[in-house]
């Protein structure tokens, strides 16, 4: 099942290479599409190498160094906010640049925070047990990290990081009464966070307008829906789309799914969605032999759900099901940090399933002889 899971990810990576090249074509002849494709291939090689290496990292190493990982993440997020160190683009200071490479530290939180959540949850459960006194310790990483990400500002990443952390707690069996209590306590902070700036309110009002009067919708949404609609059933063919020719913004990144809809049609978009359904089902199947509630099971399951949720969020934005927000399509969109984080997450899932299965077999052998079938 691991091979099928990895194979489906490879299918997505292949689609990404093709669509990044196609979506990078412009009206003006030149080498821009080659530049984007070349950079994407470099990102892909680095990401696959890191993902392969991550598949051999033992779960005990991840668990033992969870606190150090979070400390590094905090330091990187602080560095981003230092003038002259972090790079500001379109009013947001989210990147660290070294030479021709850039890193978005908040993306790393999608791996590091679930590691910390799984470690904290299993330690509390196996030692003192869940209690009100354990709640501050449980949420300590979020208390430090989320305000730094919100300061960049990046509301979407803030919400997504918190969601990933909560998913890990839910999967790990954190008591439901604590979820309810924390939700009530956090409600004022959430409301203040969502008492948004003018540009954020404009996004929401534009989203509402898209379903009432398309002419009043934001430019990105209008062009995205036009791209999807003009593709029809079979599409215009790879490279044959027009909307990417300076009409559809972020065609090779956040809105690459719209380019797929135009060039590959409904058949292409549905095919991609079916691949994602396969990723979710095989990813969950990979976790099944592991001991339920273990560190490996909690972390692996969370990473699988996070990757699929990001794909779902991207499709929802492109199809105007939710307000517009910059959400790359995992493995398909152009971009270094997101590709690296998701590929490393796949490597960790594979490694966790391997070590978790071995641990389960060892426990079965200790309890007595066991019969295993393929």
- The DSSP output letter for 133 is G
- pLDDT of amino acid 344: 97
| 269 vs 372, higher pLDDT | 269
CA dist 148 and 77 (Å) reads 6
In a domain, 174, yes or no: yes
Task: Please enumerate, as own/partner, the contacts of 199-207 that have beta carbons within 8 Å and a separation of 24 or more.
Answer: 200/155, 203/323, 203/324, 203/325, 204/323, 206/323, 206/324, 207/320, 207/322, 207/323, 207/324
Q: Which three-class secondary structure state does DSSP give residue 129?
A: coil
Q: 57-61, 93-97, 337-341: which has the minimum mean pLDDT? A: 93-97
Mean pLDDT of the chain: 84
User: Of 285 and 364, which is predicted with more confidence?
Assistant: 285
pLDDT at 304: 96
CA distance 327 to 19: 16
Mean pLDDT of 132-151: 90
Q: Do the Cβ atoms of 149 and 98 come closer than 8 Å?
A: no
Residue 358's pLDDT band (cuts 50, 70, 90): low
Residues forming beta bridges with residue 87, ordered by sequence position: 95
Q: Six-digit token pair at 331?
A: 């493995």
pLDDT at 237: 84
Q: What is the pLDDT of residue 127?
A: 87
Nearest alpha carbon to residue 109 among 150, 51, 50: 150
Helix and strand tally (H, E) in the chain? 13, 3
Q: Which of 370, 356, 374 is nearest to 290 (CA)?
A: 356
Among 92, 89, 87, 114, residue whose Cα is nearest residue 103: 87
Q: Which residue has the higher pLDDT, 32 or 50?
A: 50
- Asked whether residue 368 is domain-assigned, the answer is no
For the chain, percent of residues with pLDDT exceeding 70: 84
Q: 374 lies in a domain?
A: no
Distance of alpha carbon 224 from alpha carbon 10, whole angstroms: 26
The whole model's pTM is what?
A: 0.88
pLDDT at 364: 58
What is the number of structural domains in the chain?
1
- What is the residue range of 102's domain? 2-359
Q: Which of 226, 233, 240 is nearest to 22 (CA)?
A: 240
| Phi, then psi, of 325 in degrees rounded to 5 | -155, 140
Residue 370 lies in a domain: no
Which of 29-43, 259-273, 298-312 is least confident? 29-43
Produce one character per residue of 220-233: b if its CB has 16 or more CB atoms within 10 Å, e if not.
Answer: bbbbbbbbbebbee
Taking only the tens place, the pLDDT of each residue in 3-43 is 999 999 999 999 999 988 887 765 444 555 566 788 889 99
- Specify if 371 maps to a domain: no
Mean pLDDT of 47-56: 96
pLDDT at site 28: 46
Q: How far apart are alpha carbons 158 and 155 in whole angstroms?
A: 5
Asked if residue 113 belongs to a domain, the reply is yes
Q: Is 366 within a domain?
A: no
Separation between Cα atoms, residue 132 and residue 124, nearest integer Å: 12
For β-strands 86-89 and 92-98, DSSP reports them as antiparallel
CA-wise closest residue to 115 among 344, 313, 338 = 344
Q: What is the pLDDT of residues 72-98, one digit of tens each?
A: 999 999 999 998 888 887 777 888 887
More confident residue, 67 or 242: 67
Alpha carbon 278 to chain centroid distance?
A: 17
For residue 29, being part of any structural domain is answered with yes
Q: Which of 25-39, 41-55, 139-153 has the lowest mean pLDDT?
A: 25-39
Question: Mind listing the pLDDT tens digit for each residue in 181-195?
Answer: 888 877 776 666 555
Q: Is the confidence at residue 110, as pLDDT, over 80?
A: yes
Longest dimension (CA), the chain: 70
Rounded to 10 deg, the angle between the 66-81 and 135-151 helix axes is 30
Please indicate whether residue 369 or residue 184 has the higher confidence score (pLDDT). Answer: 184
Give me the pLDDT at residue 93, please: 84
If you average pLDDT over residues 144-151, what whole number do you get?
91
Q: How open is the CA angle 31-33-36, to the nearest 5 degrees?
A: 110
Collapsing DSSP to helix, strand or coil, 232 comes out as: coil
pLDDT-derived band of residue 203, with 50, 70 and 90 as boundaries?
Answer: low
Q: What is the pLDDT of residue 207?
A: 65
């Amino acid at each position: 099942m691991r091979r099928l899971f990895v194979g489906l990810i490879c299918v997505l990576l292949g689609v990404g290479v093709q669509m990044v090249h196609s979506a990078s074509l412009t009206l003006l002849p030149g080498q821009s599409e080659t530049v984007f494709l070349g950079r994407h291939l470099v990102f892909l090689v680095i990401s696959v190498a890191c993902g392969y290496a991550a598949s051999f990292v033992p779960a005990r190493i991840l668990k033992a160094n969870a606190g150090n990982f979070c400390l590094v993440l905090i330091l990187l997020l602080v560095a981003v906010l230092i003038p002259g160190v972090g790079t500001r683009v379109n009013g947001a200071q989210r990147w660290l640049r070294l030479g021709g490479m850039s890193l978005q530290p908040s993306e790393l939180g999608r791996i590091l925070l679930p590691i910390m959540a799984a470690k904290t949850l299993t330690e509390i459960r196996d030692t003192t047990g869940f209690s009100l006194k354990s709640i501050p310790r449980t949420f300590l990483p979020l208390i430090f990290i989320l305000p730094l990400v919100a300061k960049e500002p990046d509301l979407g990443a803030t919400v997504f990081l918190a969601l990933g952390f909560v998913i890990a707690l839910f999967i790990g069996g954190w008591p439901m009464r604590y979820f309810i209590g924390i939700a009530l306590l956090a409600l004022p902070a959430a409301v203040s966070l969502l008492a948004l700036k003018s540009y954020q309110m404009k996004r929401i009002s534009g989203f509402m307008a898209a379903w009432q009067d398309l002419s009043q919708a934001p430019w990105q949404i209008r062009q995205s829906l036009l791209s999807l609609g003009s593709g029809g059933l079979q599409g215009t063919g790879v490279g044959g789309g027009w909307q990417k020719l300076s009409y559809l913004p972020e065609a090779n990144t956040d809105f690459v799914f719209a380019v797929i809809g135009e060039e590959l049609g409904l058949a292409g978009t549905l095919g991609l969605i079916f691949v994602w359904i396969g990723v979710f089902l095989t990813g969950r199947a990979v976790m099944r032999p592991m001991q339920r509630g273990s560190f490996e099971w909690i972390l692996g399951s969370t990473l699988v759900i996070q990757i699929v949720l990001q794909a779902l969020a991207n499709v929802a934005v492109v199809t105007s099901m939710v307000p517009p927000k910059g959400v790359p399509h995992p493995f398909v969109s152009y971009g270094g940090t997101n590709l690296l984080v998701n590929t490393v997450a796949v490597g960790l899932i594979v490694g966790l399933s391997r070590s978790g299965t071995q641990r389960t077999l060892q426990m079965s052998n200790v309890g007595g002889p066991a019969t295993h079938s393929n």
